[in-house]
């Protein structure tokens, strides 16, 4: 090191800057494998040799993983494992010859937190011997890696619990009357969610009628999913009284507005009556349903729009439309059509411009609709329900009552 104090200070500062830069390259993601690779890559560069992760190998013996640099520079894995076991309790490194008989420097440090040991970092090179500076640098590297590995495992654990809970919350819609063909799709936004605040429901009523419902709870993720289940539970209870759609919305609004922690939601209810060939619809701040006619053309039904559920304002109304067996009714949440920086009228226009084969079944309708609207790149959760009256089942269903 230079004799001049200012030069010595500059040298130390430059090494510290280089070390800080190296540390910033470890733990850039919440993926454990990536963190191990970053650790060995940085350690090999800092030690001017090779670095690897040592794990117990079971019956096959200890083995190296995620090697950075030339693996020929590493000591025998069995020797490294013995050194790691000896020093794990002291959490300190050192230099020692490998068991191959060659005087090659080696360094073994446990990658560990106070509670857990995740593995061992093993470094090797031809020369020179590892210095105290080298040991301290590697100690900093493994401390940073261990901290991020702990975070990665905790994140994976919590994500697993959330996924399991979401799976429990994801309830399939009830069974409609057999005079209706139903298809339902649910597509959560992003890759980590299983279910969010969007939902579909079907409830069997008297005289062959079926209540079709879609709802969209404000927000995303687990919290929205929890509120979604509360809305569905309340809806099923209210629907058992066989009220008109607007009165179902009114009662839902009364219940939710009395629960200050409950998130607001939009909702669309359609009561399909195959015998009378009609559908009665009501909306709480929700987009209107679409109807596909016998020519495969798409249009939107007019619906009086009331305030979202949870506001306590009420004011919901129903409207009746004709629905015959040649038509397919589609209820959907806004994630199907809405796109960022696009007016909602333009979004709905893209939906009405879709065309379908005249004999398309509900499942095929949803396939065409999701593909035509590029649902793979949707920015919000999507829940969509398609229903079509079975022409031959209508009279038989009415006879049962």
Distance of CA 168 to the CA centre of its chain: 15
Report the distance separating Cα 325 and Cα 131, nearest Å. 84
pLDDT tens for the 401 residues of the chain, in order: 456 677 777 767 777 888 888 889 898 998 999 999 999 999 999 999 999 999 766 666 788 999 999 999 999 888 888 887 776 555 444 433 333 335 688 999 999 888 888 999 999 998 888 999 999 999 999 999 999 999 988 887 776 665 555 555 555 666 788 889 999 998 877 655 556 678 889 999 999 999 999 999 887 767 777 788 888 888 988 988 889 999 999 999 999 888 888 889 999 999 999 999 999 999 999 999 999 998 889 999 999 999 999 988 888 999 999 998 889 999 999 989 988 888 889 999 999 998 888 667 899 999 999 998 988 887 788 889 999 998 654 444 444 44
Residue with tokens 């670095």: 51
**Which H or E element spans position 46?**
helix 32-47
Residue with tokens 């605040």: 197
Q: Which two tokens mark 278?
A: 């009609």
Cα–Cα distances (Å) from 383 to 32, 99, 235, 281, in that order, read: 34, 63, 17, 18
Cβ atoms of 265 and 215 closer than 8 Å: yes
* 92 upstream amide cis, omega within 30 of 0: no
Considering the entire predicted model, what is its pTM? 0.61
Helices 32-47 and 5-23, interaxial angle, to 10°? 150
Q: Which two tokens mark 12?
A: 């130390």
């Amino acid at each position: 090191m230079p004799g001049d104090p200012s030069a010595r200070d500059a040298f130390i500062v430059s090494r510290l800057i280089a070390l800080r830069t190296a540390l910033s390259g470890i733990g850039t993601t919440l993926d454990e494998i990536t963190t191990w690779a970053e650790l060995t890559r940085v350690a090999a560069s800092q030690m001017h040799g090779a670095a690897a992760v040592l794990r117990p190998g079971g019956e096959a013996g200890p083995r190296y993983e995620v090697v950075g640099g030339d693996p020929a520079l590493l000591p025998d894995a069995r020797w490294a494992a013995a050194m790691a076991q000896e020093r794990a309790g002291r959490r300190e490194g050192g230099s020692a010859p490998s068991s191959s008989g060659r005087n090659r420097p080696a360094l073994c440090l446990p990658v560990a937190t106070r509670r857990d040991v995740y593995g061992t970092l093993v470094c090797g090179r031809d020369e020179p011997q590892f210095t105290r500076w080298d040991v301290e640098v590697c100690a900093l590297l493994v401390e940073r890696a261990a901290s991020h590995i702990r975070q990665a495992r905790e994140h994976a654990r919590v994500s697993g619990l959330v996924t399991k809970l979401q799976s429990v919350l994801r309830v399939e819609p009830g069974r409609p009357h057999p005079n209706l063909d139903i298809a339902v799709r649910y597509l959560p936004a992003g890759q980590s969610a299983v279910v969010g605040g969007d939902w579909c429901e079907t409830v069997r009523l008297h005289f062959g009628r079926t209540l079709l419902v879609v709802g969209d709870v404000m927000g995303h993720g687990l919290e929205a999913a929890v509120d979604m289940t509360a809305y569905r539970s309340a809806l099923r209870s209210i629907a058992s009284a066989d009220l008109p759609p607007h009165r179902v919305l009114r009662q839902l609004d009364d219940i939710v507005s009395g629960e200050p922690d409950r998130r607001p939601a939009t909702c669309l209810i359609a009561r399909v009556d195959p015998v009378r060939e009609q559908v009665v619809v009501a909306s709480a701040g929700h987009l209107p349903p679409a109807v596909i006619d016998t020519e495969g053309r798409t249009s939107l039904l007019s619906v009086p729009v009331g305030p979202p559920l949870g506001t306590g304002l009420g004011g919901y109304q129903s409207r009746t439309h004709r629905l015959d067996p040649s038509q397919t009714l589609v209820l959907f949440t806004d994630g199907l059509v809405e796109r960022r920086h696009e007016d909602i009228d333009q979004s709905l226009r893209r939906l009405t411009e879709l065309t379908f084969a005249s004999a398309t079944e509900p499942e095929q309708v949803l396939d065409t609709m999701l593909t035509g609207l590029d649902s793979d790149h949707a920015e919000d959760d999507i829940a969509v329900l398609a229903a079509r009256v079975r022409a031959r089942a209508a009279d038989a269903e009415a006879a049962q009552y």
